[in-house]
Amino acid sequence: MLSIKDLTVNVNDKKILKGINLEVKAGEIHAIMGPNGSGKSTLAHVLSGKSGYEVTGGSVTYQDKDLLDMPPEIRAREGVFLAFQYPVEIPGVSNVYLLKAALNAIRKYNGLDEVDAMDFLMLVKGKVKALEMDEKFLYRAVNEGFSGGEKKRNEILQMAILEPKLCILDETDSGLDIDALKIVADGVNSLRSPDRSFIMVTHYQRLLDYIKPDFVHVLAHGQIITSGGPELALELEEKGYGWLEDGQVAA
């Protein structure tokens, strides 16, 4: 599904990503962990097409297409979804309006008619209920005045409605209380399918308790310095990153 090869990225002439290699197959869940400032969000942003990042080398292939060549909205319509670490507040644009515009943009891209208003409402209300959100959130401006946890839940609501193929969750667990974490994790798990993949950036094992990853990668100083199975996350929880960064990286 996704193949990242030797990806190097500069921000303001500073090297942030220094040769990332990552293969994500359909249906897999990859967790990316790593210290603050190591480049996790940068990677997520580059994959979703945010400007301000200069790709200086390497390639990203998504479903046999050059992902880096596509404008952000085309990536999104092709099924790449980023749940932001810091979701943006959009005053004056209601949640439900954005959801409908987004869904219709995908449908149009795929040669489908606009969604029927009633069907849409049923769909949205169902997802809202599943995420235990208040329906009032639908009519509020996107993320405006939402609490940290509410914003994260809202990202998952969007994801649930757009049904992307590659879901990139950037610290969706931070800011969520214990109950919310479980609800969000259930939401993510219900989206799991053999043709949908996830990249989850997280600092905490507790998310991985709910959503069991197939692979765990450690990103430090712009490189993936080690990869392993779910047990790696447990080890990290115990030991931190120091032992890896000291150069004792297992080959």
- Of these, 4, 7, 16, 218, which contacts ligand ATP (CB under 6 A)? 16
Number of residues that bind ligand ATP (CB under 6 A): 14
Between residues 37 and 229, which has the closer beta carbon with respect to ligand ATP?
Answer: 37
Token representation of residue 137: 């959130």
Closer residue to Mg ion (CB): 27 or 35: 35
Find which of Mg ion, another protein, ligand ATP, none residue 37 binds, CB within 5 to 8 Å per kind: ligand ATP
C-alpha dihedral, 115 to 188 to 87 to 157, nearest 10°:
30
CA-to-CA dists, residue 84 to 76, 78, 229, 230, angstroms: 13, 18, 25, 23
The site string for ligand ATP over 46-65 (x = CB under 6 A, - otherwise) reads ------x-------------
Query: Judged by CB under 5 A, which of 1, 16, 20, 41 binds Mg ion?
Result: 41
- Is 39 one of the binding residues for ligand ATP (CB under 6 A)? yes
16 binds, among another protein, Mg ion, ligand ATP, none (CB under 5 to 8 A by kind): ligand ATP
Main-chain phi, psi angles of 13, to 5 degrees: 65, 5
Residues 148-167 that bind Mg ion (CB under 5 A): none
Half-sphere exposure for 142 (CA within 13 Å, toward CB): 18
- Cα–Cα dist 167/188, whole Å: 9
Distance in Å, CB of 107 to ligand ATP, minimum: 32
Q: Are strands 223-228 and 166-170 parallel, antiparallel or unpaired?
A: unpaired
